[in-house]
Structure 1
Amino acid sequence: MTEQLISSKYIASAIVYSVLGLIILFLSLIAFDKFTPGNLWQEIVEKHNVAMAITVGAITIAVAQIVASAIHG
């Protein structure tokens, strides 16, 4: 049985793509907040708007899947 060691090149690229994915996710949430009426944080935390929280969660999952697919190839 042969063992393969993980190359530092793969570790570095995984870190870079992870950071890039987080930045894209953060920017998409900022864009969603700008295009929706009201303050997103206030709606979810202070007013306990469950529908808005579910929508933000769904957008987060969708963007994360898109970024992961783009990175994976």
Structure 2
Amino acid sequence: MPDVQNLIKAVIGTLVFVAVGLLVFLLAFVLITKLTPFSIRKEIEEDQNTALAIVIGSVILGLAWIISAAIHG
């Protein structure tokens, strides 16, 4: 039974970190959209602004690395 308890603790810990990570991503995206004076969706989808898409992707990757480093310890 100790293995099952360890598994349950690991799953709960993973779910908590997933929730925190998604919350940080959501907060960062909302912050980016509020700080920019233009519509990010319009720029990327309609105007085909590749540079902006690369910047947004870089922000997402940077956040992912920071969150994974915090989880990994």
Instruction: Report TM bin, short chain.
Output: 0.7 to 0.9
Task: Structure 1: give runs of 5+ residues left out of the alignment.
Answer: none
Whose helix fraction is larger, Structure 1's or Structure 2's? 2
- Cα offset for 1:65? 0.7
Determine what percentage of the aligned residue pairs are the same residue: 31
Query: SS of 2:37's equivalent?
Result: coil
2:38 is aligned with what amino acid? Answer: G
Structure 2 partner of 1:49: 49
Q: Which has the higher contact order (CA 8 A, sep 6+)?
A: 1
Moved more, 51-60 or 30-39: 30-39
Structure 1 partner of 2:38: 38
After superposing on structure 2, the runs of 4+ consecutive aligned residues of structure 1 that deviate more than 6 Å are none
Task: Structure 2: give runs of 5+ residues left out of the alignment.
Answer: none
Size of the aligned set, in residue pairs, is 70
